[in-house]
């Protein structure tokens, strides 16, 4: 049962992602991206990474997508829909991407990844994740807080309007 | 535990200093005071660098590694940022806004670079590079009311986000292959099993792409001209030395750790990329009317010479890093001279007759341009000579020939600027004033360029110890 | 049972879709959307590798968590830059940003 669910989520994720980069209206593109991000959270759940799935929904869908919608609405122009959203080189870009995907196909089937099956158990779980964050990975964990501060200050510096 | 904290004490000092400057800026401190505080933080960070880190050690459960190379590069970044802060203090900005935030970003960027170069784990490496990038995007677009600056910031962001995305995907593939992100473990496993898995090659290409972007290696150099052109002068000067050096240092950290990778075609590919980089950089600089773009393409060409050093083995490694140290002083000096002589106009015509209008400034600028061109007895000549010698000793004759040919070509556009300064009639006879901090920076850089040119031995000895 | 290869295939597909978007989009915000798709592909890779390689350490999940944080920070700065450019140029199309051309 879980396998069918995974394949349904995976296929819909692919569909949402493709729709996101191909539709004409940028707002629709953002909506498809939000659905794709929700599907990714579903994938995380299927990999027994429940905490990560919840964080994905909260931060990505809840935070980043809100940011995107704000930015889209703040930079909208009348008559946007008539402007070409995709450049003339879309055929060339499509060939490049398809080529790289072909490379990936070769690599995946040449590797031992295709035969690996799920080991028994529940994965590392929330306990193990928390312990790792505060012991082995304590330095990057603290470092990220400086990163967030820097991004915040940067956004304010560039975004604020002089009174 | 204390060992860990002592290890990152310099970065902690920088971060604390950055926060303090941010707060002082909010309370209305002037730019020169904030800059002085930044210099104080950098000096304090230098003095708390862990003294015993010349032996191989690791900190924070393998997130960081302490070896001579990391230690030397941390000093390198501190020095480079000191020069950048001096330029930011001496440069005539349009207004005094946001000076606190500016120095905050500079110090945070330095801390990121120092952490990145001591990384022992690909996760730490990615996080520090990404954080440096984010801070750089803000610095490039810092003058938010200036069309050119915001456009430069956006362009840098677009290119940079793509390149770090590629690098991240490469790192995930490495994780998939080895099950660990620890560089020492990965190199140990590579030594056992060899290199020819296609997945590993794809992963290596992706990671190389991300790092080559920072080091402005062809074909990832497209952003340099636009970003250096639009960004404020001190920011462009900082970009041309510090993140670029980080790119090269990380290339060494990631790719030189395993001898298996070194023997499998790395030298050939790197040599080709080096020739492309120096040629494209120098040729593009030729027909530039804009002095910022000219210096930007010139720095791409210089990156090519440094890469040529990395291609030729151990001797070349020493040559490349000698070149990089000299490059910091001469490129910073060149950018600083150009910025201080003409802060607002960027076309070459603005420099007409600078020989009369600002004799000292023009003299400094000439020194730096001649060193970049490789004229003896300045340090730039010695740096190029070492790279050529390393190439010849490794039997890369065509690489050595390319370096020589490129130096000859580049000489002509450096000479063009000097000619404009001394031979053309100035547009106005108003004297150009350069601030005291500006003169201090120019004097320090010039002393380094001349000093290392005449007495390189101490530096060369240190490099020989590091790369033994 | 789902082999690991299928997860990697999914991740590779997302990476290529994102790459296609990056190479072809004229709108800066859609460029960013494509980058987010690429980053999510990388995250799926990380979590899948972590799960399939044995349950002793949490490296992949921790890294994926950090990538989400970094992506958030980068999006904030990127979108603020887009808005800053828009204020001055009234356009978000990359082709229009030609002030810094040859």
Whether A46 is in a domain gets the answer: yes
Q: Single out the residue of C83, C74, C21, C73 nearest to residue A29, CA to CA.
A: C21
Which of A38-42, A75-79, A140-144, B126-130 is the least confident region? A75-79
Whether A99 is in a domain gets the answer: no
* Cα–Cα distance, A13 to A104 (Å, whole number): 18
Whether A107 is in a domain gets the answer: no
Whether A132 is in a domain gets the answer: yes
Domain residues for the domain of A156 are: 124-163
Are A62 and A6 found together in one domain? yes
Residue B194 has pLDDT above 70, yes or no: no
Tell me what pLDDT residue B259 has.
Answer: 62
**Domain containing residue A5: CATH number:** 1.20.120.1200
Q: Average per-residue pLDDT in chain A? A: 85
* CB-based contact, C24 to chain B, within 8 Å: no
3-state secondary structure chain C: CCCHHHHHHHHHHHHHHHHHHHHHECEHHHHHHHHHHHHHHHHHHHHHHHHHCCCCCCHHHHHHHHHHHHHHHHHHHHHHHHHHHHHHHCCCEHHHCCCCCC
A151–B142 C-beta distance less than 8 A:
no
Are A64 and A128 found together in one domain? no
Chains touching C (at least 3 CB pairs under 8 A) are A, B
Residue B42 or residue C93, greater confidence: B42
C12–A43 C-beta distance less than 8 A:
no
Q: Which domains does chain C have, with CATH numbers?
A: 4-96 (1.10.287.3510)
Are A72 and A128 found together in one domain? no
What's the number of domains chain A is made of?
2
- In the numeric block, which tokens belong to residue B132? 């440096």
- In the numeric block, which tokens belong to residue A149? 């501060």
Which ranges of chain A does DSSP label H, i.e. alpha helix? 2-22, 26-46, 50-55, 65-74, 90-110, 125-134, 138-159
**Mind listing the pLDDT tens digit for each residue in B153-164?**
999 999 999 999
**Mind listing the pLDDT tens digit for each residue in B88-132?**
988 888 777 788 899 999 999 999 999 999 988 999 999 999 999
Tell me what pLDDT residue C93 has.
Answer: 72
Tell me what pLDDT residue C67 has.
Answer: 96
End-to-end distance of chain C based on CA atoms, in angstroms? 56
In percent, the amount of chain A with pLDDT more than 70 equals 91
B101–A147 C-beta distance less than 8 A:
no
C-alpha R_g of chain A = 20
* CB-based contact, B156 to chain A, within 8 Å: no
* Cα–Cα distance, B424 to B307 (Å, whole number): 36
C60–B162 C-beta distance less than 8 A:
no
Q: What angle do CA C30, C31, C37 make, to 5 degrees?
A: 90
**Average of per-residue pLDDT across B344-372:** 84
Residue B414 has pLDDT above 80, yes or no: yes
Tell me what pLDDT residue B246 has.
Answer: 95
ipTM above 0.90, yes or no: yes
Whether A105 is in a domain gets the answer: no
Q: What global pTM score does this model have?
A: 0.93
User: Hey, where are the domains in chain B?
Assistant: 1-258, 265-468
Using CB atoms, which residue from A6, A109, A151 is nearest to C76? A151
- In the numeric block, which tokens belong to residue B233? 């002068």
Chain B residues closer than 8 Å to C99 by CB: 147-148, 151, 230
Is the CB of residue B330 less than 8 Å from the CB of residue B371?
yes
* Cα–Cα distance, C72 to C76 (Å, whole number): 6
Best C26, C27, C31, C54 residue to mutate vs chain A (most A CBs within 10 Å)? C27
**Mind listing the pLDDT tens digit for each residue in B221-230?**
889 988 998 8
C-alpha R_g of chain B = 21
* CB-based contact, A55 to chain C, within 8 Å: yes
C52–A119 C-beta distance less than 8 A:
yes
* Cα–Cα distance, B151 to C100 (Å, whole number): 8
- Cα B254 versus chain centre, distance: 18
Is the CB of residue C97 less than 8 Å from the CB of residue C89?
yes
A90–C5 C-beta distance less than 8 A:
no
Are A6 and A68 found together in one domain? yes
Residue B54 has pLDDT above 50, yes or no: no
Are A69 and A129 found together in one domain? no
Q: How close does chain B come to A154, measured CA to CA in Å?
A: 6
**Average of per-residue pLDDT across B425-452:** 80
* CB-based contact, B124 to chain A, within 8 Å: yes
Chain C residues closer than 8 Å to B132 by CB: none
């Amino acid at each position: 049962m879980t396998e069918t669910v995974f394949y349904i989520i995976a296929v819909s994720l692919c569909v949402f992602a493709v729709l996101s980069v191909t539709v004409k209206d940028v707002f629709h593109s953002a909506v498809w991206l939000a659905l794709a991000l929700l599907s990714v959270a579903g994938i995380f759940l299927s990999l027994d990474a429940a905490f990560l799935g919840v964080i994905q929904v909260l931060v990505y869908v809840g935070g980043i997508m809100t940011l995107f919608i704000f930015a889209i609405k703040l930079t909208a122009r009348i008559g946007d829909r008539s402007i070409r959203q995709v450049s003339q080189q879309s055929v060339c870009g499509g060939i490049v991407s398809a080529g790289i995907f072909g490379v990936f196909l070769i690599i995946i089937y040449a590797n031992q990844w295709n035969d690996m099956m799920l080991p028994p158990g529940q994965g590392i779980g929330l306990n193990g994740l928390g312990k790792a964050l505060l012991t082995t990975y304590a330095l990057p964990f603290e470092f990220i807080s400086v990163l967030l501060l820097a991004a915040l200050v940067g956004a304010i510096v560039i975004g604020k309007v002089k009174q | 535990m204390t060992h860990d904290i002592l290890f990152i004490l310099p970065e902690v000092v920088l971060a604390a200093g950055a926060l303090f400057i941010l707060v002082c800026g909010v309370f209305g401190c002037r730019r020169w005071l904030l800059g002085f505080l930044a210099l104080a933080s950098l000096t304090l960070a230098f003095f708390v660098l862990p003294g015993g880190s010349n032996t191989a050690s690791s900190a924070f459960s393998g997130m960081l590694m302490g070896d001579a190379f990391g230690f030397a590069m941390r000093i390198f970044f501190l020095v480079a940022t000191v020069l950048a802060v001096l330029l930011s203090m001496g440069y005539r900005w349009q207004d005094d806004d946001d000076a606190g935030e500016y120095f905050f970003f500079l110090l945070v960027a330095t801390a990121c670079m120092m952490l990145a170069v001591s990384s022992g784990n690909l996760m730490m490496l990615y996080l520090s590079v990404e954080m440096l990038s984010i801070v750089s995007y803000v610095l490039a677009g810092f003058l938010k009311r200036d069309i050119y600056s915001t456009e430069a910031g956006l362009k840098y962001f677009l290119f940079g986000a793509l390149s770090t995305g590629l690098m991240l995907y490469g790192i995930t593939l490495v994780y998939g292959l080895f099950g660990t992100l620890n560089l020492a473990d990965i190199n140990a496993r590579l030594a056992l099993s060899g290199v020819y898995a296609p997945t590993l090659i794809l992963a290596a290409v992706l990671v190389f792409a991300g790092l080559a972007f920072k080091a402005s290696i062809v074909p990832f150099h497209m952003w340099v001209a636009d970003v250096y052109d639009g960004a404020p002068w001190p920011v462009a000067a900082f970009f041309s030395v510090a993140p670029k050096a980080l790119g090269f240092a990380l290339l060494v950290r990631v790719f030189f750790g395993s001898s298996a990778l070194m023997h499998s075609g790395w030298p050939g590919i790197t040599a080709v990329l080096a020739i492309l980089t120096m040629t494209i950089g120098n040729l593009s600089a030729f027909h530039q009317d804009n002095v910022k773009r000219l210096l930007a393409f010139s720095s791409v060409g210089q990156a090519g010479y440094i890469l040529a050093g990395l291609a030729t083995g151990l001797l070349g490694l020493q040559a490349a890093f000698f070149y990089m140290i000299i490059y910091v002083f001469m490129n910073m000096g060149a950018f600083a001279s150009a910025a201080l002589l003409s802060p607002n106009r960027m076309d070459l015509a603005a420099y007409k007759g600078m020989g009369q209008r600002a004799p000292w400034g023009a003299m400094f600028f000439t020194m730096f341009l001649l060193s970049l061109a490789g004229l003896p007895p300045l340090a730039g000549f010695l740096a190029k000579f070492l790279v050529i010698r390393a190439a010849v000793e490794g039997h890369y004759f065509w690489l050595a020939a390319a370096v020589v040919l490129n130096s000859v070509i580049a000489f002509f556009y450096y000479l063009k600027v000097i000619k404009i300064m001394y031979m053309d009639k100035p547009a106005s006879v108003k004297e150009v004033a350069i601030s005291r901090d500006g003169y201090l920076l120019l004097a320090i850089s010039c002393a380094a360029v001349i000093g290392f040119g005449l007495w390189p031995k101490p530096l060369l000895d240190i490099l020989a110890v590091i790369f033994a | 049972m789902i082999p690991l290869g299928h997860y990697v295939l999914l991740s590779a597909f997302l990476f290529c879709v994102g790459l296609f978007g990056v190479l072809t989009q004229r709108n800066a915000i859609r460029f960013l959307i494509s980058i987010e798709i690429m980053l999510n592909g990388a995250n799926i890779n990380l979590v899948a590798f972590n799960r399939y390689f044995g349950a002793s350490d949490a490296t992949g999940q921790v890294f994926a968590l950090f990538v989400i944080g970094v992506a958030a920070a980068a999006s904030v700065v990127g979108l603020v830059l887009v808005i800053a450019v828009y204020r001055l140029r009234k356009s978000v199309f990359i082709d229009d940003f030609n002030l810094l051309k040859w």
